[in-house]
Structure 1
Amino acid sequence: MKGLILCAGVGSRLWPITHTLPKHLIPLANKPILFYIIDILVDMGIDEIGIVVGKNKASFQEALKEYDNKNIAFHYIKQEKPIGLANAVLSSREFIKNEKFLMILGDNLYHPDIKNAINNIVNSNFNCHVLINKVSNPSRYGIVKIEKDRVIDVIEKPNNPPTNLAIAGIYIFDSNIFTACENIKPSNRNEYELSDAIKWLIDNGYVVSYEKFDCLWQDLGKPEDILIANQYLLSNIKPENNGIIDKGSKIDGMVFIGNSSIVKNSIITGPVTIGNNTIIKDAYIGPYTSIYDNVEITNCHIQNSIILNESIISDIRGIIDSSIIERCCIVEGEKEETKTNQLLLGKDTKIKLKKS
């Protein structure tokens, strides 16, 4: 069975982060979101994977060099315009041909136990099989109505949801899905909705079934979703020190420190992960913080945040609930900065913080 991962979305709700970094490549616990999805497929024995991309194919090719020696064949499939998931699926027709395939959205995070639920459906004879989960805010999702072992209706982001059962971004399709995608019209959002294609299958006599699961599933559409997912992953890290910690520093809890990183006169309270060649000096790094490679942090207090590579932060006493992307520079201004700061910064941002 081939695998398909949809990664062409522009991630507008995560601007300015996603102006330069596809949301599927945002590192959580210092590992890109997409890699967690790929690992699920590889664990299922799938080694031929299509990646549907938009204009940022080069970013994915560079990131996926990580898998060069792992006997996985990646096929990059361009979706010419971001006009819906059904159009993205249709773009993959030449790659999939007439085979049944497993498809996962590339901007979702799942508990590793999701593999058990997938195993339950890989050998099914249905035309379409979806994984579903109960949600507290069904108006944000594609919602299903079920009857016995069948899905009898699918509604995309309904104002008045008939159930709280959402399609959780994992599907198995046979080649009839391409016919369905060709026979639907754009929605009110002017997109070709995958939920409409699945409904077309139902309305035209094809069999759509489902598998419920109750382990973690996090849709990563908004900045707060990214931080929640990062918290979850950090809660499961294994402590390890591959760097240098001086005698004036204190490490407490689950903390991972990468190669050649240096911690001087600092307190780090886990769960925290620190990448390679990073310097932490005279700082407090609090729980649920991930710091990537080649970062310099001096005289700062940071917690529950994501800080990506080559960023420099100095003399900022309070950063919390923040996402700081590549090569950002944050320093103290002419006056003392506010007590706490919540930041959402894109690549190459340079700011001084001070009282208003």
Structure 2
Amino acid sequence: MKGVILCAGKGTRLKPITNFIPKPLIPIANKPFIFYTIESLLKAGVDDIAIVVNEENIDVFKKHLKHKFQKQFEYIIQKESNGIAKALLETESFINDERFIMILGDNSFELDLGVLINDFNLSNINGKLFLKEVKNPEKFGVAYVGNNKIINLVEKPKQSFSNLAITGIYLFDKNIFKACKEIKVSKRGEYEITDAIKWLLENNYDIGYEIIDEYWRDVGSYFDLIEENINKLNSINSGFKNEQIINSHISGKIFLEKGASISNSIVRGPVRVGKNSSIKNSYIGPYTSIGKYVSIEKSNIECSIILDNCSIISIGKMIDNSILGEGTIIMKKMGIKDSNSLITGTDCTIYL
């Protein structure tokens, strides 16, 4: 089976971070978000993978993925940002009439894709959706089901009478491309994948569904990124050499990459520290991931994502629930609140 990951979105809700890095490449627990999806596909035996990107971000995707994976991916450019159905149509020649799995690049999940794929291949259905019960269905595409069938699909309704969100994990055969060509642009100005699936249902194609109990999250906001970082850090294992920790107190799960060091500090895990980063005379609290070549001194940080090459110096009070873009510098100037939450782009300098 082939795999498709859609990553051409602009990530406007996550600006300014996404001004400099595509959302699927934002590090979560020090690993670009898309890596978790690719690893799940490879584990399921799906190694023929196309990644749909836009012209502006194709080079950065190639750079990151080539560095990590010893295989080639097919990169497909979505020429216009006008909906999932149009993005999917760009992959038709790559799929070449085969059955395939499609995953949205901003979805996080803990599912055994191998089991889902095997069940689909043993069936005669034309497609399958995976649904999740949520508290805020209006944020998602919503499915209405009855008598073990999908009755209707609505994209981001103003008011939903179903709590079943459509996750960004789909299994299809070639007929989905026929449907994508038949639909018209929606009121939102996009060619909706929900409309394409509805076209299949209305034309007597067999679309199945499964309500999943496993973890799933659509990562679309700063809060989602921080929560996802917490989730991934919960599953890390401790790993460090004794010489990397000098005169410090650590507790919980701590993972230090090569060249990272902690001195005269208190660190409470789960915490992951990237290559050649240093923590001195500081407190680092739980659920913090720190990228490569970061310098933290005389500062207090917890529950945050710190990207590469940041420098945080002499911040006596707390920085928490924050995301600091690459190259951010934070220094103390005058007074500071008891706690500060910050979201920065790349190469920012902030005096607190």
TM bucket normalised to smaller: over 0.9
Cα shift readout 1:169-208 (whole Å, capped 9, x = no counterpart): 1101111111111111111110111111111111111111
Asked whether the equivalents of residues 3 and 48 of structure 1 are also in contact (C-alpha less than 8 Å), the reply is yes
Structure 1, 261-270 or 155-164: larger mean CA deviation: 155-164
Q: d(CA) in 1 for partners of 2:190 and 2:332? A: 45
Give the match for residue 103 of structure 1. Answer: 102
Q: d(CA) in 2 for partners of 1:224 and 1:152? A: 33
Give the match for residue 57 of structure 1. Answer: 58
> Any unmatched runs of 5+ in structure 2?
none
Cα shift readout 1:89-148 (whole Å, capped 9, x = no counterpart): 011111112111101111111125565445433433211111111111000111112234
Q: 1:112–1:271: structure 2 CA closer, same or farther, 3 Å change rule?
A: farther
Cα shift readout 1:10-64 (whole Å, capped 9, x = no counterpart): 1100000000100000111111110000011101101110000012100100010
Asked whether the equivalents of residues 242 and 259 of structure 1 are also in contact (C-alpha less than 8 Å), the reply is no
Asked whether the equivalents of residues 244 and 261 of structure 1 are also in contact (C-alpha less than 8 Å), the reply is no
Aligned length: 350
* Distance apart, 1:291 and its partner CA: 0.3
Q: d(CA) in 1 for partners of 2:239 and 2:210? A: 37
Give the match for residue 350 of structure 1. Answer: 349
What are the equivalent positions in structure 2 for 1:114-263 lying under 5 Å apart?
116-242=115-241, 244-263=243-262
Q: Secondary structure at the match of 1:280?
A: strand
> Residue type matched to 1:51 in 2?
I
Q: d(CA) in 2 for partners of 1:292 and 1:119? A: 37
Asked whether the equivalents of residues 243 and 262 of structure 1 are also in contact (C-alpha less than 8 Å), the reply is no
Q: 1:131–1:229: structure 2 CA closer, same or farther, 3 Å change rule?
A: same
Cα shift readout 1:261-285 (whole Å, capped 9, x = no counterpart): 1111001001111111001001000
Q: d(CA) in 2 for partners of 1:341 and 1:114? A: 40
Q: d(CA) in 2 for partners of 1:143 and 1:86? A: 16
> Residue type matched to 2:183 in 1?
I
Q: d(CA) in 2 for partners of 1:122 and 1:107? A: 25
* Distance apart, 1:247 and its partner CA: 3.9
Give the match for residue 340 of structure 1. Answer: 339
Give the match for residue 319 of structure 1. Answer: 319
TM-score (normalizing by structure 1) = 0.95
Q: d(CA) in 2 for partners of 1:116 and 1:273? A: 31
> Any unmatched runs of 5+ in structure 1?
none
Q: d(CA) in 1 for partners of 2:287 and 2:301? A: 10
Asked whether the equivalents of residues 243 and 261 of structure 1 are also in contact (C-alpha less than 8 Å), the reply is no
Q: 1:246–1:166: structure 2 CA closer, same or farther, 3 Å change rule?
A: closer
Q: d(CA) in 1 for partners of 2:242 and 2:310? A: 19
Q: d(CA) in 1 for partners of 2:322 and 2:271? A: 14
Q: 1:117–1:198: structure 2 CA closer, same or farther, 3 Å change rule?
A: same
Q: d(CA) in 2 for partners of 1:213 and 1:32? A: 25
> Residue type matched to 1:326 in 2?
E
> Percent identity between the aligned chains?
43
2:277 maps to 1:278? yes
Give the match for residue 306 of structure 1. Answer: 305
Q: 1:337–1:158: structure 2 CA closer, same or farther, 3 Å change rule?
A: same
Q: 1:28–1:61: structure 2 CA closer, same or farther, 3 Å change rule?
A: same
Q: 1:211–1:61: structure 2 CA closer, same or farther, 3 Å change rule?
A: same
Q: 1:78–1:266: structure 2 CA closer, same or farther, 3 Å change rule?
A: same
Q: d(CA) in 2 for partners of 1:20 and 1:199? A: 36
> Residue type matched to 1:321 in 2?
N
Asked whether the equivalents of residues 45 and 114 of structure 2 are also in contact (C-alpha less than 8 Å), the reply is no
Q: d(CA) in 1 for partners of 2:20 and 2:281? A: 31
Give the match for residue 66 of structure 1. Answer: 67
Give the match for residue 48 of structure 1. Answer: 48
Q: d(CA) in 2 for partners of 1:194 and 1:246? A: 51
Q: d(CA) in 1 for partners of 2:14 and 2:46? A: 30
* Distance apart, 1:86 and its partner CA: 0.5
* Distance apart, 1:351 and its partner CA: 1.2
> Residue type matched to 1:52 in 2?
V
Q: Secondary structure at the match of 1:45?
A: coil
Structure 1, 253-262 or 240-249: larger mean CA deviation: 240-249
CA RMSD of aligned residues (A): 1.4
Q: 1:68–1:118: structure 2 CA closer, same or farther, 3 Å change rule?
A: closer
Q: Secondary structure at the match of 2:183?
A: coil
Q: 1:94–1:44: structure 2 CA closer, same or farther, 3 Å change rule?
A: same
Asked whether the equivalents of residues 332 and 352 of structure 1 are also in contact (C-alpha less than 8 Å), the reply is yes
